Amino acid sequence: MTFAEPPAGAHAGAVSYGPVLNAAAVLLSCYGNVPPERTALVMGMLLGVPVSAGWVDKAAARISPQLAKGGFDDAMIAALTGEKVLAADETPVNVLDKAVPPAPDGQLTFLQAIGSQRKGDIAAGIPGLFTGSLITDGYTAYQHLLTRLAGIQQCCQHVIRRCRAVMKLGPDGLQSWAGDIITVLREAHQAVEDARARGSTALDADMLDKLRQRYNEAAAFGIIHNRLRDWDTGNHPGYALGSCLRGYKEQVFLFTRDFTVDWTNNVSERGAKAAKRHQAVSGYWHTLATVARWCRIRKTWRRHKVSGRTCGARLLDWAWPGWWAGIIAE
């Protein structure tokens, strides 16, 4: 007897559904943050086709290796490597009892499942040949990358949040120096925006020197007046913040010297929220492999949604190497 190969999208020895149902399963479970059980229920209600939660999960499991084989990950890394500035953030999610941080970078959102938050593993989330500037939230695991990076920008929004927390500690306005830091950073940001509007590529040197001097004085005040202040967990938060501001001053002010660098890491934080939303409705992932699968499909569909084609057609595209060529640059 002669047996023919199954057509694209069909699987020998199993009941196979078409691209529309497969696309619905993958879209709802990996992009819509709907748990597999609820995805199966919604598909049955909307499309009139009863499917199981296991089949929904298997639909995602089948498309993930097709994406890897098509070279999308490598193409994204190559595109990110060529950028002048990337933003990186890490957010722990639950894999049963294990924390795993997907790490997105910049406008091209590259989600990656990483086994731990050690500096060696975190470095794996940054393209190995990237030599530009990196915007981070202050996590020290990125500091060892300075040997190959043009610079690191500390997220000023994170600095402002820490300053606000210290200001609430008092007493009697003693921690008002933290408010001075906030004022300096906002004035620096406004000065950069005004300079950009004028077409300038650098701040006035005298203005920048005055801003940095006020910053230095405020940080020094915080260190001196909180050095011996008691705190139940060790150093007083005001002392810790002042020391951090002094130690990472050049990284806090990088955006004032390089106008291609943003002063916050908000773009990266927005990309990382997807994993938290998915966890909120699904509870956890079972293994690191399933996290990696979700990251790959999520970032692919996020980038591919601009093409304007139907979901079913996109799913068929993903089986072919090089299908991504027209969407990464968009």
- Tens digit of pLDDT for each residue in 19-59? 788 888 888 888 888 888 889 999 999 888 899 998 998 88
pLDDT for 293-302, tens place per residue? 888 888 777 7
**pLDDT tens string 68-78:** 877 778 888 88
Q: How far is CA 237 from CA 106, 180, 251, in A?
A: 31, 16, 20
Residue type (1 letter), 214? R
Contact indicator for 131, 187 with CB cutoff of 8 Å:
no
pLDDT of residue 182: 97
How many CB atoms are closer than 10 A to CB 313? 12
Question: E-assigned strands of the chain?
Answer: 85-87, 93-95, 98-100, 133-136, 151-154
Higher pLDDT, 53 or 106: 53
Residue 262 pLDDT exceeds 70: yes
Paired tokens of 197: 């509007």
* Side chain identity, residue 57: D
- What is the average per-residue pLDDT within 222-244? 92
